[in-house]
Chains A and B, each alone.
Chain A
Amino acid sequence: MSLALTVSNIRKSYSGKPVLEDVSLSFDRNAVYVLTGPNGSGKSTFLRICGLIEDADSGEIVYTSEGGMLKHDIRLKRRITLVLPRIGLFNTTVFKNAAYGLNIRGSKGADAARRVDEVLAFVGLAHKKDQSALTISSGERQRLGIARALVIEPEILFLDEPTASIDEKNSAIVEDIILDLKAGGRTTVIMTTHDKDQAGRLADSWLTMHAGKLIPHP
């Protein structure tokens, strides 16, 4: 069995203002989970907490594998990854951005380079690999963000609004990438979007965040 995530009774406030109120949920299938909900309802905060980028005020984030509970250490953190809405590309080439996850895991050399080339081809950025990552278009930025995450073959991939502020063509490319992952059946995708049609096309499980509470989409 692969990695599963169960969160229970998550609470989070920023400077006294509650953002997440008692959120509980299980992500236990290699499926695509889609979160929708109004601006400011807490989706990004929820993703950052699940992705172990930020701590909750209270509640439990439990990762399990083969029935055992996993410590929140670097080994676990290297099995999941979160693509942030602003991505956060590094000031270097497209290729080196994509290679980052492998480099910090100590894998360099020809095999690593081949893997990076593969993933860049998968997201349609092979021809841009020597360009500075800070000069590519926003659609390409999104795709590079996803490529950078896919290189490390995450078991759980969090995508925070992967198609916000990009055109239809790029959105379609990103959706195809997600559908490919879904067909592959080895990755759990947990994503947010404001595009209801897109949620319908991608979701195995569709959830709605409302004022800090999570409910199944009607």
Chain B
Amino acid sequence: MFLAESFKTALSLIVNLNAELLGIIFLSLKVSGSALVIATLIGLPLAALMGFRKFPLKGVFVSLLNTFMGLPPVVAGLLIYLFLSRSGPLGFMGLLYTPSAMIIAQSILAFPIIVSLSYAAIVGVDPIISQASRSLGAAQSQVSLTIMKEARFGIMSGIIAAFGRVMAEVGAILIVGGNIAGYTRVMTTTIALETDKGDFELALALGIILLSISLGINFLLHLVQRKGAVER
């Protein structure tokens, strides 16, 4: 049986910690992890600003962010490609087809998810928390920090959801990373390429691992949401 054979080889690749396989997994985690850190470092303060300050056209801005949560990765990839390509405005930096370009692309995909969901979590905190905090003598910055802490489970859900999205996407990193073996080849792009070539073993091995990671992410999300719900 062809399918069974492929499966067996795939499993042996995983069990034997095949070097190529490990390299690809490691790069995937590095790219998506870095993107997540960058998107959180910029997105969380922005969500806080949106949650605590009034400014004109905030509603429009929120709708826009919500729309960008569903931005198709290939479109994001295309736009970043145009910016980074040799004739583009940032072409001089020579970032196209490097892991850095992939990190930029995934940061942009993760960003609206982290901002939108964190913002929703922050404005969803019961206003009594801010009253209680102020009445106990908190300065404005301390009130804000207290509200952020109350929103922590919602914020964590947003970050985990963003991680799930970037780990699974293939469109953006394929366009800006170029799928160069040993350099910009990650799990999803390898699966696409190997399947195209008809070499299913590596693709299948990566598919299994990707599924396990996705399962892990969803389990984590479930835990966080349940903890948030129980403690409310």
A residues whose Cβ falls under 8 Å from a Cβ of B = 48, 51, 53, 74, 77-78, 81-84, 86-92, 100-101, 104-105, 132, 134-135, 148-149, 152
Contact = CB atoms under 8 A, between A and B. Distances in A.
Contacts of B226: none
A84 B231 contact: no
Contacts, number: 59
Interface residues of B, number: 18
Given A74-B139, A88-B133, 14 more contacts: A53-B134, A77-B137, A78-B137, A90-B132, A90-B150, A91-B232, A100-B133, A100-B136, A104-B133, A104-B136, A104-B137, A104-B138, A135-B231, A152-B136
Interface of B: 126, 128-129, 131-139, 142, 146, 149-150, 231-232
Nearest to A132: B231
Given A84-B128, A88-B126, A90-B129, A149 B231 contact: no
Nearest to B232: A134
A93 to B, nearest CB: 11
Given A134-B231, A134-B232, A88 B137 contact: no
A132 B232 CA distance: 10
Given A90-B146, A91-B231, A104-B142, A149 B136 contact: yes
B137 A101 contact: yes
Given A101-B137, A152-B137, A84 B232 contact: no
B131 A81 contact: no
